[in-house]
Amino acid sequence: GAGVSQSPSNKVTEKGKDVELRCDPISGHTALYWYRQSLGQGLEFLIYFQGNSAPDKSGLPSDRFSAERTGGSVSTLTIQRTQQEDSAVYLCASSLDSVSTEAFFGQGTRLTVV
């Protein structure tokens, strides 16, 4: 595709359920980022993948959050046992190789936990 694609665009889930959010980066981009944007807050870093290197997971807020990137392309962010405070927009971005090249963002997945 032409840009970063995220699915679903909206997700409503019940508290305690698990959710999976998908990111399809721009073809050929080796760097992939996940961010969370809560109402009135800036973008909060979650996790960063660069090529075949071990991911930087330093931003994951709890062990309920995990992410993987298969084959260096598609990434899935999984939130287990969702809580109401997990409600936010989850944004994915990819860049050719690093922050010195433009990071392109997807439209985000709006997650609502009820």
Q: How far is CA 31 from the centre of its chain?
A: 12
Q: What is the 3-state secondary structure (H, E, C) of 54-88?
A: CCECCCCCCCCEEEEEHHHCCEEEEECCCCHHHCE
CB 111 within 8 A of CB 45: no
What string marks each residue from 69 to 108 as x (binds another protein by CB under 8 A) or -? ----------------------x-x---xxxx-xxxxxxx
Binding flag, residue 1, another protein (CB under 8 A): no
Site for another protein in 5-64 (CB under 8 A): 31, 33, 35, 40-45, 48, 50, 56, 58-59
User: How many residues sit in the footprint of another protein (CB under 8 A)?
Assistant: 28
Give the other-Cβ count within 10 Å of 75's Cβ.
Answer: 23
- Contact footprint for another protein (CB under 8 A): 4, 31, 33, 35, 40-45, 48, 50, 56, 58-59, 91, 93, 97-100, 102-108
